[in-house]
Amino acid sequence: GEDVEQSLFLSVREGDSSVINCTYTDSSSTYLYWYKQEPGAGLQLLTYIFSNMDMKQDQRLTVLLNKKDKHLSLRIADTQTGDSAIYFCAESINQVRDSNYQLIWGAGTKLIIKP
């Protein structure tokens, strides 16, 4: 079945770069997403990448996609305390049985910032 996997924790020093990794199993994924969840808050869309792209950059965020290895990463440059959150990877896949798309979610990576 479809599966998305992420490490549960990542600890980095303030000012360093954070790299959050995600692997997925469904090769028919069309879009892959990164969502951010701050403590006690909802899910905020950070960025997304189409499956025919290798890289997407948006200010401090860089998304890298290796479709051959089914590996997605989110790099946050110059990590700040405000980046402390849980980061969810999600892939959009087609539910063959009814031709609708659904997001399959990873478990989330908690980013911990050390001073």
Partner 1 sequence: DTAVSQTPKYLVTQMGNDKSIKCEQNLGHDTMYWYKQDSKKFLKIMFSYNNKELIINETVPNRFSPKSPDKAHLNLHINSLELGDSAVYFCASSQGDMSSSTDTQYFGPGTRLTVL
Angle value at C-alpha 7, between 5 and 8, nearest 5 degrees: 115
Positions touching partner 1 (CB under 8 A) are 30-31, 33, 35, 37, 41-45, 48, 86, 88, 92, 94, 98-103, 105, 107-108
Distance of closest approach, residue 49 Cβ to partner 1, in angstroms:
12
Distance of closest approach, residue 58 Cβ to partner 1, in angstroms:
14
Give the residue with the Cβ less far from partner 1, 8 or 77.
8
CB 26 within 8 A of CB 104: yes
| Alpha-carbon gap, residue 83 to 80, rounded angstroms | 5
